[in-house]
Amino acid sequence: MQVNKAYEKDKCAIADFVKKIESLCRAYDEEVTQYKERLSEPINQSAQDIRAFVTVLFDCGQDACTLVKNERYSSVAATARAAIESYATAVELIEARKNGSYNECFNRVIFADVTQLWKLYEALYATDPNHLELPHFLDDIRRGIEQIDPSFRLAYENVESQVKAFKRGFKHLETKTTERVLAALEKNPERNLKDYARLIYPLFCLATHNNFSSVQERTQYTSIVERKLGYGTAYVHQVEYRANNYTRNVLNSLMLFHDCMKDCLNKWEADVLRSL
- Percent helix / strand / coil, the chain, rounded to 5: 80, 0, 20
Query: Cα–Cα distance between 170 and 21 in angstroms, integer?
Result: 39
Query: Cα–Cα distance between 110 and 10 in angstroms, integer?
Result: 40
Q: What is the pTM of this model?
A: 0.84
- How many other β-carbons are positioned within 10 Å of the β-carbon of residue 71? 11
Kindly state the percentage of the chain with pLDDT values over 70: 82
Residue pair 46/90 in contact (Cβ under 8 Å)? The answer is no
Q: What is the pLDDT of residue 243?
A: 47
Of 173, 191, 218, 188, the C-alpha closest to 77 is 218
Alpha-carbon distances of 122 from 104, 117, 135, 141, rounded to whole Å: 27, 9, 12, 12
Residue pair 72/25 in contact (Cβ under 8 Å)? The answer is no
Mean pLDDT, residues 12-37 taken together: 91
Residues in the chain: 276
For 96-129, how does the pLDDT look when each residue is reduced to its tens digit (9 = 90+)?
A: 999 999 999 999 999 999 999 999 999 999 999 9
Greater confidence (30 vs 216) lies with: 30
Burial (0-12, 13-18, 19+ Cβ within 10 Å), 55: middle
For 54-91, how does the pLDDT look when each residue is reduced to its tens digit (9 = 90+)?
A: 999 999 999 999 998 887 877 888 898 899 999 999 99
Q: How confident is the model at residue 43 (pLDDT cuts 50, 70, 90)?
A: confident
216 phi/psi in degrees, rounded to 5: -60, -45
pLDDT at residue 7 tops 60: yes
* Domain ranges across the chain: 2-275
